[in-house]
Every structure is written in structure tokens, then in C-alpha cells.
Amino acid sequence: MKEDELRMEEPEAERAPRSVGFLISQLGFFSSKRFMDALEPLGIGPRDFSLMRFVDASDGQSQHALAERLGIPPSRMVALVDGLEEMELLERRPDPDDRRVRGLFLTRKGRSVLEKAGKIAIDYETQLCAGINREEREQLIDLLQRLQVTQTDLGGVHPGMSE
């Protein structure tokens, strides 16, 4: 196709392209950022939130197991857990059966913070979807889930934009 085809008066490249890929990338970034900001009063980041949810789902898992499930390298997990432990939201307990592993457990404070974070997440979701109704939201989620991104992605937590 030629280049000057539909070049009427509108710059054609000025406006955001009407593309799923572009919109997803853009919205994804700013959405992450906004959620991060919303979480900031709690002193935790999105990744902390994810990790805590996983720990809450099943106490006592090893760091290794969690790291694998979250798709982050073990070295990264150390820093993550360090932070959470320093804030007393999480604690490492020695495993009675294997002295190499440290099981992760939420503290009481950790559960409390996680609960607040959950509320924040819901509020955020509500606000994000303020422009569409419930049915449209279901539709949107359905469509998003049918997008062809690498098969093995979901479940992990993407890097970038910490704290």
C-alpha cells in the first residue's frame, strides 16, 4: 500500500493507532502504574501483593517453589522476601524436614495488609471499569483471555516497575 493514500488532513501517525497491540501495551503500562500508586500507602508493590497472595493460598511453601510458580529467578525472590520480612508481613520458618528450605508464612500483620490490598485491588478494578457496565466487563475479560499471547505466560508476574 502506498504511503500517502489516506493522508487527508489528519497526520495519521499522530493519533494513537487503532490497534489492539498498541492499546494493550499502553493501557497495561499505565494500569500497572496506577495500581502501584494505589498500593503505595501500604508500602508494598504489585509483586509483593502477588507473592503474598500465593503464600496466603498455601502456607509454608519453599521460596524455590514460589519462585518457580511466579516465574522469577531465585535471586530475585530473596530480595522480595527480604523486603516483606523486614516489614514483618512475611516470615521464613525453618522446615523441620529439610534444613535447606525455609517455608514462607504470612504474619498476622501480613494477612491484614493483604486484606487491605485486596480491597484496594477491587476498588481499582471498579474505577478502571467505571466506563463500562457489568456485561461489557465480562465481554472484555473474555476477549482479553482469547488474545494470542505466548501460551505459557499467565500465572507469572511480569518484572518492571517495582515498589
Partner DNA sequence: CAGAAATCGTTTCAACACAGAACAATTTAT
Partner DNA sequence: ATAAATTGTTCTGTGTTGAAACGATTTCTG
Q: Where along the sequence are the contacts to DNA (CB under 7 A)?
A: 47, 62-65, 67, 72-79, 81-82, 92, 98-102, 159-163
- Count the residues of the shown chain that bind its own copies, applying the rule CB under 8 A: 60
Does residue 26 bind its own copies (CB under 8 A)?
A: yes
Q: Tell me the C-alpha distance between 66 and 74, whole Å.
A: 9
End-to-end CA distance of the chain: 45
**Which of its own copies, DNA, none sits in contact with 9, Cβ below 5 to 8 A by type?**
none
Give the three cell numbers for residue 155. 500465572
Give, as one character, the DSSP assignment of residue 99. Answer: T
**Which of DNA, its own copies, none sits in contact with 6, Cβ below 5 to 8 A by type?**
none
Q: Give 52: exposed, middle or buried? Use CB within 10 Å, 0-12, 13-18, 19+.
A: buried
Which one, 47 or 49, has the nearer CB to DNA? 47
Does residue 19 bind its own copies (CB under 8 A)?
A: yes
